[in-house]
């Protein structure tokens, strides 16, 4: 059982390797192939060294290889995990700062920033999928690359590869919730509905009993759900009216102004965008990783974000590999699970996972209080995929006009112009070159 | 054939009477009953006087009556035309200024202002419908009261009265378009799609030939459609990408910031909101109307807005009365005409009209470039109707959260609080009183 | 204005020519090109002679030409009318007799017979459409070829030609109904819903008043509607429960056993199938047509069936040509008009017709009492089109299995085998040859 | 943990008790309350005796009680299992013989017989549900009463009780399939789609690999699936074209004629209908059951049909009780799992089951080859439920007209008349009495 990690030079990789070390009984992995682009070779080598030392120390007989040759890495794989960032941190910095020029949110997964990231990423992911069709057509593509829902939908629409999109937000919310309720996570069942980074926990059961109404009329719960789970900057009334806990990414929608102001203040204070901060953290991490005496995941990694990432990814692989029929909250094709979203839309919801894949549970129509937002964002996502694949500027503009975080046709046009220009090198499909 | 005009004291009434004078051959009206509320008695009397003089001068044997007793006016009617403003201009001024406090659009048909107007208006319209069920159950309710689509949907959902919603924007666009194209209006066919004040002309035919693609790649046409027809403050690229001419009300969505700034400037300059300006125009008009020597519609009325109002309303009545199978662009129940909107939603689109009513032509799914916006606004509208009928604050908040012109959950809550408080006298359903 | 009539040698053609003679003011036709296949040359020549004499007698300056060269006939056409019978009467006789071997209905438009006719006809119609795309891409295809709904759907799905499907059953029902009600046809409005040869009049208005409930609880009306309009062999309870008047073709579904028995008796009595009877009528007609002294439509034609055919076809052409916005009951693409049928299904319903084409009125969901039947038949139709285009035997068998007039998988297989074999010469797509 | 078994006097009950004896570790049941009607008292007493002896012998401390007082039995229950037959075997005999008079299938779950059984059963099940709402509102209703899908849908539509419908056909097919494939049942995943007694296994995976295409082009598999699994009297071509294994109940649809002939032959041979045969088996069984020395389930029970019944029911209860997230094929509300069926329809498909209930996996649209049949039957089912609840004869007739096993409007009327008359005592709702 061979696993390829595309973007293997990522600072997250040690977490995955640690996860594999803890799962030797359930996941009989023999080889992990780390792949990266030439610009990432230095980091890749550091990760290769660290993870080799980790496995040695744990005395686990998994071979780790590092390569710039993606096709070689894919050959014979059972699982391919993608955690790439097309254009690296430089591109992210642009995604975060260009929209701010127009008083718009600069965020790498939603709004204009997420849009630009999708345009750059989709052609690359589709070229990976194309290689997989040739070299390991039965392998599963576990996608962690953001915007994860959009990227997964692009793969499912434009290739024959089986792909599941992952995010660590749902598992985080479940953990926080069972901790607050002081119950065993196995006694908690949460119905999750929406899209990646646009999802809500909208029904909560304890030992099979529906406690949703009870909880949402309990002030202490509202306090915790609002401020701790959702990281919400506003009043508790929002959650009490929604009767649902929004993913913390929904603050970008419900409290957009505050988010933009925070980003602007960070810029004014010279702290730069989130990219600047992450670069600093990463530099520190890689310095650490490079030490020849380090042979386990350093605690500093948990500050990097992406906590529970390895947990989410590897428990999913376990369910597929061991056919264990567990319930996971992942990104899959809709096929009616949310009947008022398009049939071919990728959604984030509860799924039964076994060796045949992830099957969405039919959740019923979107609660009316969130449906306008979800439908608008899904329309934006589908137009974005189409624009990324065709390189059609008109479609790209319609995508931005459909995005609830873009305000005004003039801003949409200006932001589109700036983003296309800034990322020209990664967007050949918009400049007469070949796209996906 | 008796017609009741609810809100008969409106400055628009003389236009309707003029229309009836011009249509004596096709509309054999015998009585027009003007109804108004006690606060409007003075205006009602002036209108009663003027319209009586107009009919006398024209030598048309239609009896005009004026009354504060709505039930008496409804008895025996064939058509009921509603042009009411619950709370009069005072309420409008509040609808226009309260949202501005939060940097939000203050407009009486869309956004927060339109929302408040709907909450006040729906209970009154439903009480009219209830009277009609008793006194003239076979009469047609021709609704001109804004927000016209929402009000019409409320009637169709909550009464058995046959109701068609009207707006003069579509007919205005058709006129402008045939003038520009220098063709006979009968040679022009325009496919209209959307909701009231949220509609687009998205296919244009001349003598049966589809010229849509041709026109939208013609720069001169784009110039005219953008700046003259749509009154658009931005670039021509928007229309060239939409391949549709937006109603001028869509500027509030596509160029919201500019609209808000304009409103703020008007306030800063002491010109007040639109209500202030309309009050001035109306005062002038009524001074004129009161002159005993005036016996025709004064030319100043055309500056009041609402041009073509009488044309739209009376040609619709003609089609019903004379079973003439003409095509009108009106507001009717969807029933699949736009399959991706709810079955029971009221939409604004091309309809065949005859004595059995207005039948929407099946237009197909919403063009993808406008679907996110239309679906969001329709969700807002349906929640607003539900809130108006039930007096449920939670539903009212969900409505605002679904409205693309409301930004941020905190603003939604604050604006809702202010509007409910300001219009308390007209919103008993939210304060423990009886609603619709 | 040139019209091509494909299948111009049909005995119906004189009726069309008579219609053109009566419409010289509204339809300025200059040329009628009659086209037929070599096997039909003799009939074509007779028709050419008769119609030339008819036009001469009427002193109408329309040129009639007759040709075996379809492409020449299509060049420059504005309207193309198709009334073809692939395989001629011989094929019809097989369609009618093969199913009877298995105790199944033998009918040329529904059941197994209609299925075989569709398989033969679709490739030919699509080759006509392909010629039109090249030679007269803006012309309208008025299809009278049965099964008219299926054939029209095939054209709309597989070509860019604008096509409207026609049937004379709806206009016949309207005529019968207004006669019974003793009202002017213009005062009657009937809502028609369903598919070609599977449609119901399910709401009836007189001068705008809905009289449906009233009529269907009136015994005299039920008597007339059941026995005269529907030609129903059973009790009146069916119509009183359906609250709709079925097209007389629905007797094949509601009273299938009786229809099969009647066909079998006709065979036993040596009268042959309907084809045999029609051949006799046609021979007589053509003997008459050939007389050099005949210069008008002979009264015997009306016994041939197809009454009102010319009326339906030419009043439709008038509405398109003169942009007159009249209401016609024709076969068009659904696009939501009946929301619970597929978007791309062709349906038979009320349409507004003008120079831009026929626009279905949104009728709402199918009445629940007819929905099972309509959905099953539409599924059968769509599979039949797919089978005709691909020549896939499996799809053809699934089509028959979906048809409510086919009973039992074994019969489906046997009937399919027999039909494919019998019509082998006209079904190259199923035998390794080229299909549509 | 208390379980009530309504229809506790059924010959199946010992199987359930045996299942409980085998599951003492996973299902900590303390009391089983057997309920029956006065006419069933004798059988109830026999079952009470036998099951008490079985539990004693197994030394399992579950108390079994027997009562005619349903409300007493329901009090405090966690699970209620219904296995009732309204009108007992006498009514069944009528359901099976009346349709045969008209040459129609006489079967107690499909066709006219199933229809009559539904009309009688639904009011009784709803009165049980009403008692549960009062006495054990949180209990689960596990319905085994046929027609199981219709009965379950009636409960879900007309009560607040959580209900899951069961059938032993799916588990039987899975067992047969894994035996044929010589694989561990846990390595087999079968996608099941349809309605109760109208379902297909349409995708088959072995260890996560989709082997559907492979199997359906393998002649040996087709042979086994056709003749052994489906009990099909026809050729293998049916399954090869469907690419799905039909439940053996589908023979009533695919091979109706053969089924009717078999029933008629049985009548001619004096063997009576299935009811007659079952009565004989039952008499024998109860004779056996009554023996004071019998203290375990006798092997003869397995010949009675309903094999695996206990397995299906109790493994479902285990999944709910132990929150074990296992996959079961059961009858639940659709909610989009099959998007082209109504949202509120009960379907039979793969579900994830845990303490919150059974969640259908989104399977996607119906395969086109089965959709006509499934939609027609679901329409019939929904009309039948409506008729059973309202006692409306018109609705009942529309239900029969929608049923693919009813042929001809005249037969539908005659069969309806006969069934209503024959079961008059159990159908007060149709005779001016009170229904559900």
Query: What's the mean per-residue pLDDT of chain D?
Result: 95
Q: In terms of DSSP bridges, do strands D346-354 and D326-333 run parallel, antiparallel, or are they unpaired?
A: antiparallel
- Whether A398 sits inside 8 A of B368 (CB atoms) is yes
Catalytic member of B12, B79, B249, B380? B249
User: In the predicted model, is pLDDT for residue C165 greater than 80?
Assistant: yes
Element spanning D274, H or E: helix D274-290
- CA distance linking residue C298 with residue B135, whole number of Å: 58
A165-210 residue pLDDT tens: 999 999 999 999 999 999 999 999 999 999 999 999 999 999 999 9
Say if CB B176 and CB B147 are below 8 A apart.
no
User: How high is the pLDDT of residue A300?
Assistant: 80
Mean pLDDT along residues A227-231: 92
Q: For residue C234, is it left (φ>0), alpha (ψ between -120 and 50) or beta? A: beta
Mutate which of D356, D358, D366 to test chain A, going by most A C-beta atoms within 10 A?
Answer: D356
Q: How confident is the model at residue C365 (pLDDT cuts 50, 70, 90)?
A: very high
User: In the predicted model, is pLDDT for residue C134 greater than 80?
Assistant: yes
Q: Long-range contacts made by residues C209-217, C-beta under 8 angstroms, separation at least 24?
A: C209/B138, C210/B356, C212/C243, C213/C243, C216/C240, C216/C243
* Residue among D210, D205, D179, D241 at smallest CA distance from D367: D241
- CA distance linking residue C412 with residue C415, whole number of Å: 5
- Whether A256 sits inside 8 A of B398 (CB atoms) is no
User: How high is the pLDDT of residue A435?
Assistant: 62
Contact status of C157 with chain B (Cβ, < 8 Å): no
Spatial neighbors of C69 by CB under 8 A, at least 6 apart, are C35
Sheet harboring C140-143: ordered strands across?
C63-67, C31-35, C2-6, C79-82, C140-143, C162-165, C326-333, C346-354, C357-360
- CA distance linking residue A214 with residue A196, whole number of Å: 27
B378-399 residue pLDDT tens: 999 999 999 999 999 999 999 9
User: In the predicted model, is pLDDT for residue B303 greater than 80?
Assistant: no
- Whether D356 sits inside 8 A of A210 (CB atoms) is yes
D349-393 residue pLDDT tens: 999 999 999 999 998 999 999 999 999 999 999 999 999 999 999
Query: What's the mean per-residue pLDDT of chain C?
Result: 95
User: In the predicted model, is pLDDT for residue A312 greater than 80?
Assistant: yes
- Two tokens at B385? 């109707």
- Domains in chain B, start-ordered, CATH in brackets? 2-167 (3.40.50.720)
Contact status of B78 with chain C (Cβ, < 8 Å): no
Contact status of C327 with chain B (Cβ, < 8 Å): yes
D in contact with B (at least 3 C-beta pairs within 8 A): no
User: In this prediction, what percent of chain D has a pLDDT beyond 90?
Assistant: 91
Half-sphere exposure of C190 (CA within 13 A, CB side): 29
User: In the predicted model, is pLDDT for residue A85 greater than 80?
Assistant: yes
Å between D137 CA and nearest CA of chain A: 12
Beta-bridged to residue C201, according to DSSP, are C192, C245
Mean pLDDT along residues C49-57: 97
Contact status of D235 with chain C (Cβ, < 8 Å): yes
User: In the predicted model, is pLDDT for residue A306 greater than 70?
Assistant: no
- Whether A189 sits inside 8 A of D355 (CB atoms) is yes
Q: Which residue of B has its CA nearest to C364?
A: B335
Spatial neighbors of C41 by CB under 8 A, at least 6 apart, are C9, C68
Contact status of D433 with chain A (Cβ, < 8 Å): no
* Residue among B244, B222, B218 at smallest CA distance from B368: B244
Q: Fill in the DSSP letter of residue C16.
A: H
Catalytic member of C12, C249, C252, C289? C249
A in contact with C (at least 3 C-beta pairs within 8 A): no
- CA distance linking residue C126 with residue C121, whole number of Å: 9
Mean pLDDT along residues A364-390: 97
- Whether C241 sits inside 8 A of D372 (CB atoms) is no
Say if CB B359 and CB C362 are below 8 A apart.
yes
Å between D187 CA and nearest CA of chain A: 8
User: How high is the pLDDT of residue A72?
Assistant: 97
Hunting for tokens 């409301």 — which residue is that? B406
User: In the predicted model, is pLDDT for residue A211 greater than 90?
Assistant: yes
- Considering only CB atoms, C336 lies closest to which of B187, B207, B336, namely B336
Sign of CA dihedral A398, A403, A406, A407: positive
> Other CB atoms closer than 10 Å to residue A293's CB: what's the count?
5
- Whether A408 sits inside 8 A of B255 (CB atoms) is yes
C-chain CB neighbours of D254 within 8 Å are 401, 408-409
The set of chains that have 3 or more CB pairs under 8 A with A is B, D
Mean pLDDT along residues D52-75: 97
Q: How confident is the model at residue C436 (pLDDT cuts 50, 70, 90)?
A: low
- Whether C339 sits inside 8 A of B335 (CB atoms) is yes
- Two tokens at B390? 């039930």
Q: In terms of DSSP bridges, do strands D79-82 and D2-6 run parallel, antiparallel, or are they unpaired?
A: parallel
Q: Which residue of D has its CA nearest to A355?
A: D208
Mean pLDDT along residues B15-43: 96
C-chain CB neighbours of D402 within 8 Å are 369, 371-373
Contact status of A238 with chain B (Cβ, < 8 Å): yes
- CA distance linking residue A332 with residue A162, whole number of Å: 10
- Considering only CB atoms, C409 lies closest to which of D238, D380, D402, namely D238
Mean pLDDT along residues B223-229: 95
Q: Which residue of B has its CA nearest to C344?
A: B364
Mutate which of D178, D206, D207, D362 to test chain A, going by most A C-beta atoms within 10 A?
Answer: D362
D99-148 residue pLDDT tens: 999 999 999 999 999 999 999 999 999 999 999 999 999 999 999 999 99
Q: In terms of DSSP bridges, do strands C245-246 and C198-206 run parallel, antiparallel, or are they unpaired?
A: antiparallel
Q: How confident is the model at residue B249 (pLDDT cuts 50, 70, 90)?
A: very high
Q: Which residue of D has its CA nearest to C402?
A: D372
User: How high is the pLDDT of residue D305?
Assistant: 66
Q: How confident is the model at residue C287 (pLDDT cuts 50, 70, 90)?
A: very high
Q: Which residue of B has its CA nearest to A375?
A: B372
Q: Long-range contacts made by residues D232-237, C-beta under 8 angstroms, separation at least 24?
A: D233/D258, D234/C408, D234/C409, D234/C410, D234/C413, D235/C409, D235/C410, D235/C413, D237/C397, D237/C409, D237/C413
User: How high is the pLDDT of residue D140?
Assistant: 98
Å between B177 CA and nearest CA of chain C: 17
Q: How confident is the model at residue A287 (pLDDT cuts 50, 70, 90)?
A: very high
User: In the predicted model, is pLDDT for residue B436 greater than 70?
Assistant: no
Mean pLDDT along residues A119-126: 98
User: In the predicted model, is pLDDT for residue C305 greater than 80?
Assistant: no
- Considering only CB atoms, C360 lies closest to which of B205, B356, B361, namely B361
Sign of CA dihedral C264, C267, C271, C272: positive
- CA distance linking residue D152 with residue D81, whole number of Å: 12
Q: Which residue of D has its CA nearest to C370?
A: D402
User: In the predicted model, is pLDDT for residue C70 greater than 90?
Assistant: yes
- Whether C335 sits inside 8 A of B362 (CB atoms) is yes
Contact status of C404 with chain D (Cβ, < 8 Å): yes
Who wins on pLDDT, A216 or A436?
A: A216
User: How high is the pLDDT of residue B302?
Assistant: 75
Look at the pTM and tell me if it is higher than 0.90: yes
Contact status of B287 with chain A (Cβ, < 8 Å): no
User: In the predicted model, is pLDDT for residue C261 greater than 70?
Assistant: yes
User: In the predicted model, is pLDDT for residue D434 greater than 80?
Assistant: no
D259-316 residue pLDDT tens: 999 999 999 999 999 999 889 989 999 999 999 999 988 888 877 766 688 899 999 9
How far is residue A412 from each of residues A98, A405, A409, A423, B235, measured CA to CA in Å?
A: 12, 10, 5, 16, 11
Element spanning D33, H or E: strand D31-35
User: How high is the pLDDT of residue A75?
Assistant: 97
Weakest-pLDDT range from A9-13, B44-48, C381-385? A9-13
- CA distance linking residue D415 with residue D417, whole number of Å: 5
B160-211 residue pLDDT tens: 999 999 999 999 999 999 999 999 999 999 999 999 999 999 999 999 999 9
């Amino acid at each position: 059982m061979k696993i390829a990690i595309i973007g293997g030079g990522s600072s997250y990789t040690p977490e995955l390797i640690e996860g594999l070390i803890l799962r030797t009984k359930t996941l009989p992995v023999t080889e992990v192939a780390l792949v990266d682009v030439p610009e990432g070779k230095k980091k890749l080598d550091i990760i290769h060294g660290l993870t080799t030392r980790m496995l040695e120390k744990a005395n686990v007989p998994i071979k780790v290889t590092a390569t710039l040759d993606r096709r070689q890495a894919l050959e014979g794989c059972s699982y391919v995990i993608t955690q790439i960032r097309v254009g690296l941190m430089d591109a992210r910095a642009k995604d975060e700062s260009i929209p701010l020029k127009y008083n718009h949110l600069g965020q790498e997964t939603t709004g204009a920033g997420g849009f630009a990231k999708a345009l750059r990423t989709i052609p690359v992911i589709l070229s990976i999928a194309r290689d997989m069709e040739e070299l390991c057509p039965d392998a599963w593509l576990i996608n962690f690359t953001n915007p994860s829902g959009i990227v997964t939908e692009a793969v499912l629409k434009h290739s024959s590869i089986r792909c599941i999109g992952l995010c660590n937000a749902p598992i985080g919310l479940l953990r926080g919730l069972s901790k607050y309720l002081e119950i065993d996570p196995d006694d908690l069942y949460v119905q999750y509905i929406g899209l990646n980074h646009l999802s809500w926990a909208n029904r909560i059961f304890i030992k099979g009993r529906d406690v949703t109404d009870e909880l949402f009329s309990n002030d202490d719960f509202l306090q915790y759900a609002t401020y701790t789970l959702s990281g919400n900057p506003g009043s508790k009334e929002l959650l009490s009216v929604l009767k649902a806990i929004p993913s913390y990414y929904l603050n970008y929608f419900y409290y957009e102004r505050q988010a933009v102001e925070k980003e602007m203040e960070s810029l004014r204070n010279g702290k730069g965008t989130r990219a600047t901060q992450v670069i600093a953290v990463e530099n520190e991490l890689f310095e650490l990783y490079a030490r020849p005496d380090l042979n386990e995941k350093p605690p500093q990694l948990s500050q990097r974000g992406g906590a529970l990432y390895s947990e989410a990814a590897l428990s999913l692989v376990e369910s597929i590999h061991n056919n264990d029929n567990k319930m996971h909250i992942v990104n899959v094709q809709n096929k009616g699970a949310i009947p008022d979203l398009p049939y071919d839309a990728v959604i984030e919801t509860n799924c039964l996972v076994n060796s045949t894949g992830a099957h969405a549970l039919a959740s019923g129509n979107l609660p009316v209080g969130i449906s306008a937002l979800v439908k608008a964002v899904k329309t934006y996502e589908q137009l974005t995929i189409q624009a990324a694949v065709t390189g059609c500027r008109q479609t790209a503009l319609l995508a931005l006009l459909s995005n609830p975080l873009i305000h005004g046709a003039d801003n949409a046009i200006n932001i589109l112009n700036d983003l296309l220009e800034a990322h020209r090198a990664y967007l050949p499909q918009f400049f007469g070159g070949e796209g996906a």
